[in-house]
Amino acid sequence: MRIEVRNNQVILDGYVNVTDRDSRELPSPKGKFIERVAPRTFQRALDNADDVNLLFNHDKNRKLGSIKEGNLKLREDNVGLRATATVTDEEIIDKAKNGELRGWSFGFRALKDDWEDTPEGLQRRNVRELELEEVSILDKTPAYMATSIEARGRDIMTETRSEEFEATIEDNSEATKQEEQTEEEYVCESCGAEREKEPTEDCECGHDHVVKKEEYEGSEEDREKEYSEYEEEIRELKERWS
C-alpha cells in the first residue's frame, strides 16, 4: 500500500481485496468459515455499479469521495481489486502523516455464492457475484470480520471485509510547498524587482509587465548594454573584413 502525502491531499494506492485466495477465519452463527472471492467478480460488480463511495471506517457520514466525483478509481487486475484515491480531508491527511492509516475495507452484498468443505474441516464460501456498495479506508487494524450471514429468507445482507496492509508513506508536503512557492515567484520584466503575478500598479521603474523568475533575462539596462556590446562587435568585424 502506497501513501503519498502532499500539502493539501493524500494519495492512497493499493489492493482492497486479493481474489482467488482464502481469507482468514471468519465468524458466523453456525461456526467459523473461510471465504474466497472468485476472479472477475469485482470487475463485473464495477461494470454494473452506478457509483461506489469512498468512506472512512464505513461511516456514511464520513464520505471522502466516489467514482463519480473523480477522486476514486477502482479496477480488478490479475491480483484483485485495486483502488487509487485522492483525499483532501484534513483528518485523513493528518492520520496519513502520522502513520495511523491501517487498511482497506469494502462493503458488499453477496448475490451468488456456494459452499464447500475443506480438508481442514472448515467450510469455504465461494463468492461468485456481488454488489459493491463502498470501499473504506481504516485508521485501525482491520479484523476482516463479517456481519452475520445466516440466511434470513430471501434477504440479502450487507457485509464488510477488511484487508491489512503494510503502508509505505512518502511525505512530499515540503517539496510540494517549495514547488508552489517557486511557481509564484515573478519579477518585473524591466528591472528584475520581485512582483506579484497580477500587478495592481506599475513597478517603481514605471514598467507594468511581469515574467516568471526563471524566465527573466535581465533588466532593460543590462539587455541594452549587452546589445551595445554585440553591435560594437559587429562593427569591428565589418571593419576587419572590409
pLDDT recorded at residue 180? 47
- Residues 18-28: tens digit of each pLDDT: 999 998 888 88
Class of the CATH domain delimited by 2-173? alpha beta
Quick one: average pLDDT of 73-102?
93
Q: What is the pTM of this model?
A: 0.64
82 or 176: whose pLDDT is higher? Answer: 82
Delimit the domains of the chain by residue range. Answer: 2-173, 184-241
Report the pLDDT value the prediction gives residue 30, as an integer from 0 to 100: 82
User: pLDDT digit string (tens) for 142-189?
Assistant: 544 433 333 333 344 556 666 555 556 666 665 545 554 445 666 665
pLDDT digits (tens, 9 = 90+) for 185-225: 666 655 666 656 555 556 666 555 655 555 545 555 665 66
Round to whole Å and give the CA distance between 85 and 230: 56
Residue 58: all three cell numbers together = 464505513
pLDDT digits (tens, 9 = 90+) for 115-135: 999 999 999 999 999 999 999
